[in-house]
Amino acid sequence: MIGTAFFIKNFFLGVGLAMDAFSVSLANGLNEPKMKLSKMMIIAGVFAFFQAAMPLIGWLCVHTILNYFSILEIFIPWIAFILLGYIGGKMLWEGIKTKADSPESKTVGCKDLVFQGVATSIDALSVGFTIAEYDIFAAVLAALVIAAVTFVICLAGVFIGKKFGMKLSNKAQILGGLILIGIGIEILITGLIK
């Protein structure tokens, strides 16, 4: 059951799941162009954690409380939209009210980072259905592959955002806020169309 095909499947699953987290990581880098490497690693780690935890929670739901989970599934796009809209709106507002000549950049706080992690990974709960046939060992291994892929992609996102954030100055915060709001809208529309 666990062979090359298993790792390839979960690698690409990780890439697909990490796209929203990549965009938010990019926004974080734009928002904080002087971010230290240790914080960049923490950001990537938080996204990797949530991207791994959500499929495992979904797997657990499939194996325990499937009926209750399917009822709550319709709220997932709304939760992601509200969380990302709130964080993005806050960044947008702070970027607009900050004077153009102000060199001060806002840093992403722990609370905002957790909100971002949940909002970008909550749709990964449904991945629990795709890995439902796995035993617990395979499900955990799949989650670790997804986490590793997410970590690398998000770290790249923060690096890219940081590079452009230096060039965009305080406009980066406005752009970062717009990106988060856009991702929230995209998750909501995609969830409603399903």
Angle between helices 37-63 and 4-31 (to 10 degrees): 130
Question: Which of 93-97, 117-121, 143-147 has maximum average pLDDT?
Answer: 143-147
DSSP codes, 21-84: HHHHHHHHHHH-TT--HHHHHHHHHHHHHHHHHHHHHHHHHHHS-HHHHHHHGGGHHHHHHHHH
| Distance separating alpha carbons of residues 84 and 110, to the nearest angstrom | 15
Summarize pLDDT for 80-93 with one digit per residue, the tens.
Answer: 788 778 777 877 78
Summarize pLDDT for 157-179 with one digit per residue, the tens.
Answer: 999 988 887 666 556 667 767 87
Name the pTM for this structure: 0.74
The percent of residues above 70 in pLDDT, for the chain, comes to: 84
| Distance separating alpha carbons of residues 61 and 150, to the nearest angstrom | 23
